[in-house]
Amino acid sequence: MANVVVVGAQWGDEGKGKIVDWLSNRADVVARFQGGHNAGHTLVVDGVTYKLSLMPSGVVQGKLSVIGNGVVVDPWAFIEEIEKVRAQGVNITSDLVKVAESATLILPVHRDLDALRENRDDGMKIGTTRRGIGPAYEDKVGRRAVRVIDLADEAALRARVQDLLHHHNALRRGYGQDEYQAEDLVQALLEIAPKILPYADPVWRTLDRAMKAGKHILFEGAQGTMLDVDHGTYPFVTSSNTVAGQASAGTGVGPGKVGYSLGIVKAYTTRVGEGPFPTELHDAMGQRLGERGHEFGVVTGRKRRCGWFDAVLVRQSVRVNGLDGIALTKLDVLDGFPELKVCVGYKLDGERLQRLPAGKEAQAKIEPIYEIMEGWEASTQGARSWADLPAAAVKYVRRIEELIEAPVAMLSTSPERDDVILMQDPFRP
């Protein structure tokens, strides 16, 4: 297939950065289609660690890197990240990075509102990254957002900002905050505009031309399916659609062109922020997973909650994304556990469920039904073929495939780029 979309199949942090980096080698273009700088992708290339939030991961390899219309862009964070990556020796030019003209901007009012809501004390905290993601998407859907293209026209920008502040200042008054002065925000945006505009681009046309020229596109998802605003554990979700279908709407490419859907799946489960997590471990096992897996957020540094593999949840992800295969990551974190548990169903009020219920209350109440599997002593770290894996590890992977009803296309066995066992190349399935 010409193109591939990569999405997280759990709650994010599945190790997408490494897989996307690996696949970028085979792609000509890497495109982000949702989210913003709430994402944190860690890449280790030739021993150098890159931490990206907004840039598509292909940028490190000099691939055409596209930020689609479905992404929300904080212009200051965008420039800061470009400068950070440049300082690590990556040559970033406006020929290499493109940002959709129609992408929504994240502004200081959005960050403020995100924090004001997160700081309140009424039990409705989401545990967001406080980057202003949700409020920016609200304004996009509310048809009052400031977009990249508005930076090119001072009069249009002023009108947009006034309209936006009309809404936000009413909210701010309600929160007992000072009002924003439109002119201050306009001036700040006019100052950053010349730095952003060289990257602005009709990305739908750039991608169309790339496809007509026979180029391969990698669509890079952020967060995970259970954080999708429709399919996730609502309201403990992010504010975008994170599923594979969004690759189409979030870049302006037809759905038939998206190609192979690859889900990234961690060999256990983690989540950051609030919300239901049926297989969460509050004991020494959970602690051990967190320590061995270095489970701290790239963006916020928060400790991730850890638990056993949840096959019910991942099977649901396989279906709502239409996954053709998965990349299973961090298997090596499970090395040395005497036994492993895998969730194969839920109990709710005495009934057995084979899917995640949609309601928040039911999601909080379900209890996992576990299947116990044998662990393995030997190390799987750095394995590059099936023969390098202990028999119990192979059995664990095969059982996961069976339960989630999707094949393991790739198995990642360390953070290093080349520590991968390849069963199926998503670009040539």
Label residue 96 exposed, middle or buried (CB < 10 Å: 0-12, 13-18, 19+): middle
E strands of 221-295, at which residues? 260-266, 269-271
Specify the residue, 44 or 353, whose C-beta has the smaller distance to ligand IMP: 44
316 binds ligand IMP (CB under 6 A): no
**Interacting residues with ligand IMP between 194 and 253 (CB under 6 A):** 222-223, 227, 236, 238-239
What residue is closest to ligand IMP based on CB? 273
Give the 3-state DSSP-derived string for 328-380, with helices as H, strands as E and coil as C: EECHHHHCCCCEEEEEEEEEECCEEECCCCCCHHHHHHCEEEEEEEECCCCCC
Report in angstroms how near the CB of residue 57 gets to ligand IMP at its nearest. Answer: 13
Among positions 69, 128, 261, 317, the unique one binding ligand IMP when judged by CB under 6 A? 128
Specify the residue, 274 or 335, whose C-beta has the smaller distance to ligand IMP: 274
HSE (side-chain half, CA atoms, 13 Å) at 198: 12
Active-site residue set:
13, 41
13 binds ligand IMP (CB under 6 A): yes
Specify the residue, 223 or 246, whose C-beta has the smaller distance to ligand IMP: 223
Among positions 273, 276, 325, 415, the unique one binding ligand IMP when judged by CB under 6 A? 273
Return the axis-axis angle of helices 75-87 and 182-196, rounded to nearest 10°: 40
Structure tokens at 179: 């009002």
Decide: 189 and 204 in contact? Cβ < 8 Å. Answer: no
Classified as helix, coil or strand, 84 is: helix
**Interacting residues with ligand IMP between 33 and 72 (CB under 6 A):** 38-40
Structure tokens at 251: 């870049």
126 binds ligand IMP (CB under 6 A): yes
Specify the residue, 70 or 259, whose C-beta has the smaller distance to ligand IMP: 70
Q: How far is Cα 60 from Cα 55, in angstroms, rounded to an integer? A: 9
Candidate segments 65-73, 128-136, 211-219, 418-426, binder of ligand IMP by CB under 6 A? 128-136
Report in angstroms how near the CB of residue 11 gets to ligand IMP at its nearest. Answer: 6
Structure tokens at 185: 């925000």
State residue 276 phi and psi, 5-degree precision: -65, 150
The site that binds ligand IMP (CB under 6 A) totals a number of residues, namely 21
Specify the residue, 13 or 81, whose C-beta has the smaller distance to ligand IMP: 13
Task: Give the binding site for ligand IMP (CB under 6 A).
Answer: 11-13, 38-40, 126-129, 131, 133-134, 222-223, 227, 236, 238-239, 272-273
